[in-house]
Structure 1
Amino acid sequence: MFVITADQVASRREGDRAGALIEELAERYADELVLPADQTAGDEIQLVTRSAPTALAIVLDATRFGRWSVGVGVGDIRMPLPDAARKATGSAFIAAREAVGAAKRADGRFALRAAGSAELASRAADVEALVRLVVLLRERRTDHGWEVVELMRAGHQQKEAAAVLDVSAAAVSARLKAAMWRAEEDARPALERLLAELEAESERTAPE
């Protein structure tokens, strides 16, 4: 399982954004969550999923504006499941707690931890480094870059995006290149596969 824990940055200055993020993520990913998105303590939220693509997508959404430190824990969850994430326990939650603490000190405010052997922890560190590169790439994207990237992710062709934005097709192409859209899109399937392999190995080696 993947447990994603996000802790708001500078909440005392900016107010509590937890409710808004829970609503946003629940709307996008509710069908892929094992338990409903939950506000666990103060300005911290927690989500649980079996899906590597969903875990990666949540990380990228939550880190987009630099307002959250995001930790992902990979491991098991004690069964039967309770009715809320804040009531659940297991090695994935312990790993997520360690990860979000590390994320507060990390570039990109992201960290990944896997419960289990030293070898598994080493593999998690490798995956963490690659995910962080994508997070940092996205941090450099301008508002104009995000406009065109969001249109492309919604399924538009470049000519259609140009018409929506009232710019030339060449301008859309230039914005996509500057936004490093293709680099991110090419990286996502590989990262999803690596996360899925990490989770499968964690399940395989979990104590009975």
Structure 2
Amino acid sequence: MFVVTADQVGSRTDVDRSAAMQEELQRRFGDHLRLPVDQTAGDELQALTGDAEAATDLVLHLARDGHWSIGLGIGDVREPLPDAVRKATGGAFFAAREAVEAAKRAEARFALRAEHPDAGVLPAAEVEAVVRLLLLLRDRRTPQGWEAVDLVETGRTQKHAAEVLGISDAAVSQRLRTAMWSADDDARPAVVRLIASLDRDAARR
């Protein structure tokens, strides 16, 4: 199982963003969550899923928002599940707690911890490094780059994206190259498989 814990950056000097993000995450990812997104303590959010792709997308979405330290915990969760994430427990939750604390001091404000970090072929620390590289790549993307990426990721052709943005096909292509969209698109499935492999390793323990 995967637990994503997110703690708002600079919450003492910023507006409280937790309620709005809680609603947004539930709307976007609710169908893939085992329980509704929960606000656990103060401005901290927590989500539980058994889906490696959903866990990856939760991390990517929170990182793009730019206001969160993000911890991904992988491991067992005690069942039967309670009626709220904040009441649940297990190795994945302990790992997520350790991860979010580490994320506050880490590049890209992300950390990954597994209940059994060295149980599989690839250690959790190496998977964390790959995820962080993807986050750092995306962090360099400009607003103009995101405009183009968002359009093509909804299934639009580059020609249609150009019409929507009011620019040439060549300009859309240049934006996508500068945004490293192709590398991002190629890397995400590999990241999902790596995260899933850590979950499988935990399940075999």
Category of TM-score, reference length = shorter chain: over 0.9
CA distance in 2 between counterparts of 1:151 and 1:161 reads: 6
Residues 6-33 of structure 1 show CA distances to partners (whole Å, capped at 9, x for unaligned) of 0000011112101111111111110100
Note the C-alpha offset of 1:118.
Answer: 3.6
**Identity value in percent:** 58
Check the 8 A contact 1:6/1:45 in 2, yes or no.
yes
Confirm or deny: 8 A CA contact 2:119 2:202 kept in the other structure: no
Consecutive unaligned residues in structure 1, runs of 5 or more: none
Q: Counterparts of 1:16 and 1:159 in 2: how far apart (Å)?
A: 39
CA deviation profile, 1:1-59 (whole Å, cap 9, x unmatched):
00000000001111210111111111111010001100000000000000000000000
SS in 1 for 2:34: strand
Residues of 2 paired with 1:121 and 1:33: CA distance? 27
Give CA deviations for 1:105-146 in whole Å, capped at 9, x if unaligned.
000000000002544596111111001011111111001000
Aligned to 2:160: 160
1:89 aligned partner: 89
1:29 corresponds to which residue?
29
Is residue 64–residue 139 contact of structure 2 (8 Å, CA) maintained in 1? yes
Q: Is the 8 A contact 1:66 1:108 kept in 2?
A: no
1:107 matched residue in structure 2:
107
What residue in structure 2 maps to residue 16 of structure 1?
A: 16
Contact 1:114-1:120 within 8 A present in 2 as well: no
Q: Is the 8 A contact 2:71 2:112 kept in 1?
A: yes
After TM superposition, the score normalised by the length of structure 1 is: 0.96
Q: For 2:12, what is the secondary structure of its paired residue?
A: helix
Moved over 6 A (4+): none
Distance 1:91 1:121, change over 3 A: farther
Q: What pairs with 1:1-208 in structure 2 (closer than 5 Å)?
A: 1-116=1-116, 118-120=118-120, 123-205=123-205
Query: 1 CA distance for matches of 2:111 and 2:117?
Result: 18
The 3-state SS of whatever aligns with 1:4 is: strand
Amino acid in structure 2 at the alignment position of 1:142 = T
Distance 1:117 1:177 in 2: 35
Give structure 2 stretches of 5+ with no counterpart. none
Cα gap change, 1:130 to 1:56, in 2 (>3 Å) = same
Cα distance in 1 for partners of 2:155, 2:38 equals 30
How much is the aligned-residue C-alpha RMSD, in angstroms? 1.2
Whole-Å Cα distance in 2 between the matches of residues 26 and 168 of structure 1? 36
Structure-2 separation of matches of 1:121 and 1:69: 28
SS at match of 2:66: coil
Q: Aligned pairs, how many?
A: 205
Letter in 2 for 1:36: P
